Amino acid sequence: MNYSIQLLEQAKHLSRKEPRRPRQASLRRAVSAAYYALFHLFTEEGARLVTSRTELHPVLRRVFEHRRMKKICRAVSCGRLPEPWNELYDDLSTGQKATLREIAQTFVDLQEERHSADYAFGDRFARSNVRDLLDKAERTVRTWKTFRKTDKRAAEWFLLALLFGDRTRP
């Protein structure tokens, strides 16, 4: 079983760990695990896209940066990408763009929620909201897995954009 699925299972377990009065630590860790499920899904697949040499995958996965990935996802979700990604994005079909916008927006939302969970100690998390986030993460993983099979070219474009971000500028 791959790591992103294990993280989603862990997040679900943490979200229901204390049946009556969930601890904030459990709910916060569940939110964090849900974000990292998407993060590791994209880094794992991005590394595989770049090379089939599995011994290089751990090194490649470390090249992905949270901030750069969020910036690209935010750009994808609003349809305004930096050069040269905008030209490639414009070539995608309307359906491909819509799916990528949904995936990208979920990544942005989950990363922001993870920041709140990990650093905004005044915020309180409700189990129902955490479960909604986990459902959203799980749907996005399923959507991505279907998308990468049916729209391989667009999925590869997205992974490369996440990896390189704005580093392609002169």
Whole-number Å distance between alpha carbons of 81 and 88 = 10
pTM score = 0.93
The gap from C-alpha 103 to its chain's centroid, in whole angstroms, comes to 7
Confidence at 168, pLDDT banded by 50, 70, 90: low
Give pLDDT, residue 27. Answer: 97
Is residue 170 pLDDT above 60, yes or no? no
The pLDDT value given to residue 1:
53
Q: What is the pLDDT of residues 49-66, one digit of tens each?
A: 999 999 999 999 999 999
